């Protein structure tokens, strides 16, 4: 008589006084093991045919496999049903779980988000099950046991090696040099002799590693006729949310950043390359990382302090299909396993996501494919001062930018700032030819002169700068600083750095914000640093300026066109 059968008999004898009329939770206890790994393995096996299977630490070095919890009547019914069908041992019994301590399985109970507890649970399982340093088979015995594997079993080993990041070739069931090298590398990392041939225990351990991660993520094959794609997805971590062509969105089941996007659209090479470029404007794909663009495929990796993302797509039969995986930083083992698994399982079939899918979705200028586009930390205005790409703007906070762009296209860097660090001279990384450059003269503005400002008043939402008419009110600031012009002009914050031109078309100054002793000034009060400060900065930077007296007053239409042609958007990006 087994120990569990003895306990079951005691339970039967005490049933009238122990259970009748109780409404507490009950479990069907199936087995108990003196080894945590054995308990987890058995729980996993039972869960393939029974729902609500758990494993608990019950103290004194023992671990219980149980089913539940249930109310009393249901627990009794489940016990007799499962026992009578032979699914569970005949000595299984009901337990109130009073000695159940920490739940050690399933991991899914802890894996609904990427919490430290989830990671600890995976670490506990790994630590509890380690390969002994001495192999269970000699090399000859390992070769013999391996020869008994069929092609499908060999493919499963290749899949497990690929998911672990060791194997990169085709899943073909052929153990060639690539597979042997992967096995040897895996053995080396597992702390066993690197022979390139796995023993029986090693093959089982590799499968256990693979299944452990699969279980924690809830990986299932997802087939979608709307996109014409099938692949394995971590359905404990993400769920389908919407279509926004060319993407099918799978958002996090928790508050985490986990996400998957399936790519599906009709197209050609031009479309593929356009998609490659468009995806890199999305916030989900940080700038830092590798990029590869071939004629018929691309790969993008992006990483910052919070997430690591990967995108791939391939053009075949006039359709572009692929996926994007977004995962939190700090969960690299599971991400690597998952990514390899998704790549291995990715399958194309007939069908492509229709362009009219998601037509009723919210349309916003700062969304693309239903996702946020990357946004700069701040934007402002500026103007070209040389035909080779030198550019003038407000210097405030530019030193904090990871990178600076002009017109969202041209990378630029700071050449020099003035002594007060109020204005900055920039230079584009590549030589460009602006439509026009600002004209400088020795003319001095007078009180009441009409001037024209230019700037991206709406933060770059418009393709061209806005024009702002104004008048010179004073040749100094309200506090007496003679480096400034005080203007009767209404400006916005993103106009800062833009040019102010006089009626002769030459530079009067550069728009800036100044703090007048912490006071908020009326809306129609603006400031510009005088043109002479711009000229001095350029001379100090070696961009010597030559100029003469300004010509006569020019036509207002020409003045407006010149103002727009010299003005460009400046963006500060912080790519962490």
pLDDT, tens only, 301-320: 999 888 999 999 999 999 99
- Which long-range CB contacts under 8 A does 463-472 form with residues at least 24 apart? 464/564, 465/381, 465/498, 465/563, 465/564, 465/567, 465/568, 465/569, 466/495, 467/560, 467/563, 467/564, 468/495, 470/500, 470/526, 472/445, 472/446, 472/447, 472/448, 472/508
| pLDDT tier at 554, thresholds 50, 70, 90 | confident
The structure tokens listed for 322 are 């692929």
φ/ψ region of 217 (left if φ > 0, alpha if ψ in -120 to 50, else beta) reads: alpha
Please report the pLDDT score of residue 525 as a whole number. Answer: 93
Please report the pLDDT score of residue 20 as a whole number. Answer: 30
| pLDDT tier at 365, thresholds 50, 70, 90 | low
Phi, psi values for residue 150, rounded to 5° = -85, 175
Domains of the chain from N-terminus onward: 3-105 (3.30.70.1070), 139-217 (1.10.101), 219-372 (3.40.1000.10), 376-576 (2.40.10.120)
CB 249 within 8 A of CB 242: yes
Upstream peptide bond of 235 is cis (omega within 30 degrees of 0): no
Is pLDDT at 10 greater than 60 in this prediction? no
CB 518 within 8 A of CB 558: no
Please report the pLDDT score of residue 457 as a whole number. Answer: 92
Spacing of C-alpha 384 from chain mean position:
36
Please list, in sequence order, all residues whose beta carbon lies within 8 angstroms of the beta carbon of residue 409, skipping any fewer than 6 positions away. Answer: none
High-pLDDT (> 90) share of the chain, %: 50
Is pLDDT at 500 greater than 50 in this prediction? yes
Distance CA(139)–CA(199), nearest Å, equals: 8
Q: Of the candidates 419, 415, 417, which has an alpha carbon nearest to the alpha carbon of residue 395?
A: 417
High-pLDDT (> 70) share of the chain, %: 88
Distance CA(381)–CA(346), nearest Å, equals: 46
What 8-state DSSP symbol labels residue 91? T
Query: pTM to 2 decimals?
Result: 0.58
| pLDDT tier at 9, thresholds 50, 70, 90 | very low
- Which helix (H) or strand (E) is 556 found in, with range? helix 556-566
| 3-state secondary structure (DSSP) of residue 562 | helix
CB 455 within 8 A of CB 442: no
Q: Which residue has the higher pLDDT, 490 or 37?
A: 490
Is pLDDT at 107 greater than 60 in this prediction? no
Please report the pLDDT score of residue 364 as a whole number. Answer: 59
CB 569 within 8 A of CB 464: no
Torsion sign, CA atoms 525, 531, 532, 534: positive
Radius of gyration of the chain (CA): 34
Q: 89-98, 291-300, 430-439: which has the highest mean pLDDT?
A: 291-300
CB 329 within 8 A of CB 303: yes
Q: What is the mean pLDDT of residues 136-158?
A: 92
Please report the pLDDT score of residue 548 as a whole number. Answer: 64
Q: What is the mean pLDDT of residues 345-365?
A: 77
Phi, psi values for residue 492, rounded to 5° = -110, 170
Distance CA(305)–CA(4), nearest Å, equals: 52
Distance CA(426)–CA(402), nearest Å, equals: 14
Is pLDDT at 230 greater than 80 in this prediction? yes
| pLDDT tier at 495, thresholds 50, 70, 90 | very high
Q: Of the candidates 568, 573, 550, 510, which has an alpha carbon nearest to the alpha carbon of residue 390?
A: 568
Spacing of C-alpha 496 from chain mean position:
33
Distance CA(486)–CA(476), nearest Å, equals: 6
Q: What is the mean pLDDT of residues 150-163?
A: 88
Please report the pLDDT score of residue 358 as a whole number. Answer: 62
- Which helix (H) or strand (E) is 417 found in, with range? strand 410-417
Is pLDDT at 108 greater than 60 in this prediction? no
Please list, in sequence order, all residues whose beta carbon lies within 8 angstroms of the beta carbon of residue 230, skipping any fewer than 6 positions away. Answer: 221, 222, 223, 224, 345, 346, 347, 349
The structure tokens listed for 384 are 């070209």
Distance CA(27)–CA(447), nearest Å, equals: 90
Residue position matching structure tokens 């402002």:
380
Is pLDDT at 2 greater than 90 in this prediction? no
Please report the pLDDT score of residue 119 as a whole number. Answer: 45
Q: Which residue has the higher pLDDT, 48 or 228?
A: 228
Q: What is the DSSP string of 492-532?
A: -GGGTT-EEEETTSBEEEEEE---BTTBPPPTTEEEEEEHH
Is pLDDT at 416 greater than 60 in this prediction? yes
| pLDDT tier at 355, thresholds 50, 70, 90 | confident
3-state helix, strand, coil in the chain (%, to 5): 30, 30, 40
Q: What is the pLDDT of residues 366-396, one digit of tens each?
A: 678 888 888 888 999 999 999 888 999 999 9
| pLDDT tier at 195, thresholds 50, 70, 90 | very high
CB 237 within 8 A of CB 111: yes
Please report the pLDDT score of residue 360 as a whole number. Answer: 56
Poorest-confidence range of 112-116, 231-235, 259-263, 566-570? 112-116
| 3-state secondary structure (DSSP) of residue 100 | coil
Q: Which residue has the higher pLDDT, 265 or 164?
A: 265
Q: What is the mean pLDDT of residues 568-574?
A: 92
Q: For helices 200-217 and 36-47, what crossing angle results, to 10°?
A: 60
Please report the pLDDT score of residue 254 as a whole number. Answer: 84
Q: Which residue has the higher pLDDT, 469 or 215?
A: 469
Spacing of C-alpha 157 from chain mean position:
30
Cα dist from 10 to 83, 272, 356, whole Å: 18, 70, 67
Is pLDDT at 7 greater than 50 in this prediction? no
Distance CA(12)–CA(55), nearest Å, equals: 24
Average pLDDT along the chain: 85
Residue position matching structure tokens 């040389």:
386
Distance CA(393)–CA(401), nearest Å, equals: 14
Q: Of the candidates 107, 109, 219, which has an alpha carbon nearest to the alpha carbon of residue 159?
A: 219
Please list, in sequence order, all residues whose beta carbon lies within 8 angstroms of the beta carbon of residue 187, skipping any fewer than 6 positions away. Answer: 193, 194, 195, 196, 198, 202
Q: Of the candidates 420, 443, 423, which has an alpha carbon nearest to the alpha carbon of residue 382?
A: 423
């Amino acid at each position: 008589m087994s120990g569990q059968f003895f306990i079951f008999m005691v339970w039967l004898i005490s049933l009238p006084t122990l259970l009748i009329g109780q409404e507490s939770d009950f479990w069907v206890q199936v087995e108990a093991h003196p080894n945590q790994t054995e308990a987890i393995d058995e729980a996993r096996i039972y869960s393939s045919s029974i729902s609500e299977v758990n494993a608990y630490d019950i103290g004194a070095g023992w671990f219980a496999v149980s089913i539940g919890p249930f109310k009393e009547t249901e627990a009794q019914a489940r016990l007799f049903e499962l026992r009578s069908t032979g699914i569970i041992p005949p000595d299984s019994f009901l337990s109130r779980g009073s000695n159940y301590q920490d739940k050690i399985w399933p991991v899914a109970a802890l894996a609904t988000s990427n919490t430290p507890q989830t990671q600890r649970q995976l670490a506990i399982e790994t630590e509890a099950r380690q390969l002994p340093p001495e192999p269970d088979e000699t090399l000859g015995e390992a070769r013999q046991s391996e020869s008994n594997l069929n092609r499908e079993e060999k493919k499963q080993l290749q899949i497990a090696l690929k998911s672990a990041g060791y194997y990169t070739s085709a899943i073909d069931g052929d153990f060639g040099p690539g597979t042997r090298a992967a096995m040897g590398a895996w053995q080396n990392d597992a702390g066993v002799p690197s022979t390139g041939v796995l023993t029986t225990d090693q093959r089982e351990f590799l499968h256990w590693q693979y299944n452990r991660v699969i279980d924690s993520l809830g990986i299932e094959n997802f087939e979608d006729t709307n996109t014409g794609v099938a692949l394995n997805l971590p359905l404990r971590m993400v769920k389908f949310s919407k279509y926004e062509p060319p993407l099918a969105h799978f958002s996090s089941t928790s508050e985490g950043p986990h996400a998957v996007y399936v790519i599906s659209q009709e197209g050609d090479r031009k479309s593929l390359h356009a998609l490659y470029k468009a995806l890199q404007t999305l916030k989900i794909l940080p700038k830092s990382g590798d990029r590869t663009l071939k004629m018929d495929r691309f790969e993008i990796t992006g990483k910052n302090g919070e997430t690591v993302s990967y995108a791939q797509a391939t053009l075949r039969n006039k359709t572009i299909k692929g996926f994007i995986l977004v995962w939190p930083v700090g969960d690299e083992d599971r991400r690597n396993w998952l990514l390899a698994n998704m790549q291995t399982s990715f399958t194309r079939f007939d069908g492509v996501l229709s362009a009219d899918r998601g037509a009723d979705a919210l349309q916003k200028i700062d969304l693309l494919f239903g996702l946020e586009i990357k946004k700069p930390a701040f934007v402002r205005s500026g103007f070209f001062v040389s035909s080779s790409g030198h550019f003038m703007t407000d210097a405030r906070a530019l030193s904090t930018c990871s990178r600076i762009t002009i017109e969202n296209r041209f990378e630029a860097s700071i050449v020099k700032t003035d002594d007060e660090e109020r204005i900055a001279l920039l230079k584009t990384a590549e030589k460009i030819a602006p439509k026009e450059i600002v004209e400088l003269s020795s003319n001095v503005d007078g009180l009441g002169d009409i001037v024209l400002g230019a700037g991206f008043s709406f933060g770059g939402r418009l393709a061209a700068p806005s024009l702002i008419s104004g008048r010179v009110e004073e040749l100094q600031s309200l506090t007496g600083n003679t480096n400034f012009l005080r203007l009767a002009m209404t400006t916005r914050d993103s106009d800062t750095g833009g040019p102010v031109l006089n009626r002769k078309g030459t530079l009067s100054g550069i728009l800036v914000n100044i703090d007048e002793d912490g006071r908020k000034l009326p809306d129609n009060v603006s400031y510009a640093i005088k043109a002479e400060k711009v000229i001095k900065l350029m001379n100090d930077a070696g961009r010597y300026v030559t100029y003469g007296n300004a010509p006569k007053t020019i036509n207002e239409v020409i003045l407006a066109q010149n103002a727009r042609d010299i003005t460009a958007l400046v963006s500060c990006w912080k790519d962490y």
